[in-house]
């Protein structure tokens, strides 16, 4: 498929990436002389009126916002029967890439990333948009030290069209998936808080909360741990870890949505924590040594709350944990787009 010369009024410079949902191009807005990222729905979804309606509806909702912690949408249009979004071109790297390449973040810096993300997500909640796919790779740090939350809303439309199997099992990366979302229930902003908590855990420890490497980390096992396992605690895994930040992270990952803090509460709680720990963005990295008795998978409990016999810890448990990412990637994230840009 040839690269178009124009999408709408925007001149196309190059293809940045493509996936199950569509393509992302770098473009130029000649009228304002600025670079843009153009996200266009894939040709195979062109006939789905419901999909197109959702794509445009949520794009319009986000276009109402002009917030420094949310990727900005400049224009919504249609090209050859396919809707597209022209949005802010981000010059930076996503947190997923940074952690994978350079290791865990300093706790205060991780807290600052989450604080800025919570501010952005609070704004999207105001216009009734739930992200549903919050994860480190959707949190971008610009060279100016601002955290931008990317890839809003589109996850829901794609999930409903492509990712629910006949048995109702959610297909996609399970590492940040709220229990209610895994069970196919209607979700609200509290699912995004849960995903932020899992992302915070990942940033600080170097691995997602319910994945530590080894044969026991298959897809269904990770989903089951979200549903039934004890919540892991950073202060029990990392010697000397800040207790207040650890307790907040565990509360964010509560199985009960009503226990999780709101975005407003997160902003109020994380501000003093960031100040006390000297948090800043762009984040700095650190080496993490896990406690020797904290490397096992959290105990999974049956419906009555009884602990099931845990499997033996994997030989992959070691002093420094390397995150193992599996699962089916759904859609195409701006985090991928930025990773591609940095390599070009």
Of the three residues 29, 63, 88, the one that is the final residue of a domain is: 88
Is there a domain that residue 314 lies in?
Answer: yes
- Note the Cα 167 to chain centre separation in Å: 25
Is there a domain that residue 278 lies in?
Answer: yes
How far apart are the C-alpha atoms of 59 and 75, rounded to whole Å? 9
pLDDT higher than threshold 60 for residue 330: no
Which one has a higher pLDDT value, 332 or 84? 84
pLDDT higher than threshold 50 for residue 317: no
What pLDDT is attached to residue 173?
A: 73
Query: Which is the catalytic residue, given 109, 133, 151, 192?
Result: 133
Judgement on whether residues 67 and 108 belong to the same structural domain of the protein = no
- pLDDT, average across residues 203-231: 89
Query: C-alpha dihedral over 232, 119, 328, 218, to 10 degrees?
Result: 0
Of the three residues 61, 88, 115, the one that is the final residue of a domain is: 88
Judgement on whether residues 151 and 269 belong to the same structural domain of the protein = yes
Judgement on whether residues 81 and 102 belong to the same structural domain of the protein = no
Judgement on whether residues 98 and 84 belong to the same structural domain of the protein = no
What percent of the chain stands above pLDDT 90? 54
What pLDDT is attached to residue 259?
A: 98
Which one has a higher pLDDT value, 255 or 186? 255
Total domain count, the chain: 2
Is there a domain that residue 1 lies in?
Answer: no
pLDDT higher than threshold 70 for residue 322: no
What pLDDT is attached to residue 267?
A: 96
Judgement on whether residues 181 and 312 belong to the same structural domain of the protein = yes
- pLDDT, average across residues 40-61: 80
Judgement on whether residues 118 and 83 belong to the same structural domain of the protein = no
What pLDDT is attached to residue 107?
A: 98
Highest mean pLDDT among 88-102, 249-263, 315-329: 249-263
Judgement on whether residues 115 and 169 belong to the same structural domain of the protein = yes
What pLDDT is attached to residue 117?
A: 98
Judgement on whether residues 168 and 281 belong to the same structural domain of the protein = yes
Is there a domain that residue 270 lies in?
Answer: yes
Task: Report the predicted TM-score, pTM, of the whole model to 2 decimal places.
Answer: 0.78
* CATH code for the domain in which residue 59 is found: 3.30.200.20
Closest CA to 136 of 176, 106, 101, 172: 176
Is the peptide bond prior to 282 cis by the omega test (within 30 degrees of 0)?
yes
pLDDT higher than threshold 50 for residue 265: yes
- pLDDT, average across residues 190-201: 97
Judgement on whether residues 72 and 115 belong to the same structural domain of the protein = no
pLDDT higher than threshold 70 for residue 278: yes
Judgement on whether residues 281 and 309 belong to the same structural domain of the protein = yes
Q: Which residues constitute the domain of residue 205?
A: 93-343
- pLDDT, average across residues 338-342: 37
pLDDT higher than threshold 70 for residue 1: no
How many CB atoms within 10 Å of residue 215? 10
Q: Which residues partner with 84 through β-bridges?
A: 40, 77
* CATH code for the domain in which residue 115 is found: 1.10.510.10
175 is known as an active-site residue: no
pLDDT higher than threshold 80 for residue 138: yes
pLDDT higher than threshold 70 for residue 327: no
How far apart are the C-alpha atoms of 341 and 221, rounded to whole Å? 34
Is there a domain that residue 322 lies in?
Answer: yes
Judgement on whether residues 217 and 156 belong to the same structural domain of the protein = yes
pLDDT higher than threshold 90 for residue 315: no
What pLDDT is attached to residue 55?
A: 75
- Structure-token pair, residue 176: 């940040």
Judgement on whether residues 74 and 107 belong to the same structural domain of the protein = no
Of the three residues 22, 55, 88, the one that is the final residue of a domain is: 88
Highest mean pLDDT among 161-170, 261-270, 314-323, 329-338: 261-270
Which one has a higher pLDDT value, 335 or 126? 126
pLDDT higher than threshold 50 for residue 263: yes
Is there a domain that residue 215 lies in?
Answer: yes
- pLDDT, average across residues 107-116: 98
């Amino acid at each position: 498929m040839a690269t178009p010369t124009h999408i709408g009024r925007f001149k196309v410079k190059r293809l940045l990436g493509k996936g199950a949902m569509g393509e992302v191009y770098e473009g130029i807005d000649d009228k304002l002389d600025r670079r843009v990222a153009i996200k266009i729905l894939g040709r195979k979804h062109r006939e789905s009126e419901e999909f197109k309606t959702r794509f445009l509806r949520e794009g319009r909702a986000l276009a109402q916002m002009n917030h420094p912690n949310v990727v900005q949408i400049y224009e919504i249009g249609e090209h050859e029967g396919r809707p597209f979004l022209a949005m802010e071109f981000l010059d930076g790297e996503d947190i997923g890439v940074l952690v994978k390449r350079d290791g865990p973040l300093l706790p205060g810096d991780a807290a600052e990333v989450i604080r800025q993300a919570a501010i952005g997500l609070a704004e999207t909640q105001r216009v009734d948009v739930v992200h549903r796919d919050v994860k480190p790779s959707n949190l971008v740090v610009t060279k100016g030290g601002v955290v931008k939350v990317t890839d809003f809303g589109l996850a829901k439309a794609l999930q409903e069209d492509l990712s629910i199997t006949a048995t109702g099992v959610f297909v996609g990366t399970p590492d940040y998936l709220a229990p209610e979302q895994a069970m196919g229930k209607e979700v609200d902003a509290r699912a995004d808080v849960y995903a932020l908590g899992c992302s915070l855990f990942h940033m600080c420890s170097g691995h997602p909360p319910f994945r530590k490497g080894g044969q026991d980390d298959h897809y269904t096992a990770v989903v089951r741990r979200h549903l039934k396992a004890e919540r892991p605690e950073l202060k029990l895994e990392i010697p000397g870890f800040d207790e207040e930040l650890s307790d907040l992270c565990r509360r964010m990952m509560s199985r009960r949505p009503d226990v999780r803090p709101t975005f407003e509460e997160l902003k109020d709680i994380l501000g003093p924590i960031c100040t006390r720990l000297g948090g800043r963005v762009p984040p700095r990295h650190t080496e993490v040594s896990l406690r020797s008795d904290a490397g096992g998978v959290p105990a999974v409990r049956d419906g009555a709350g009884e602990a099931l016999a845990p499997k033996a810890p994997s030989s992959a448990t070691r002093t420094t944990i390397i995150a193992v990412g599996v699962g089916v990637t759904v859609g195409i994230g701006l985090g991928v787009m930025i990773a591609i840009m940095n390599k070009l």
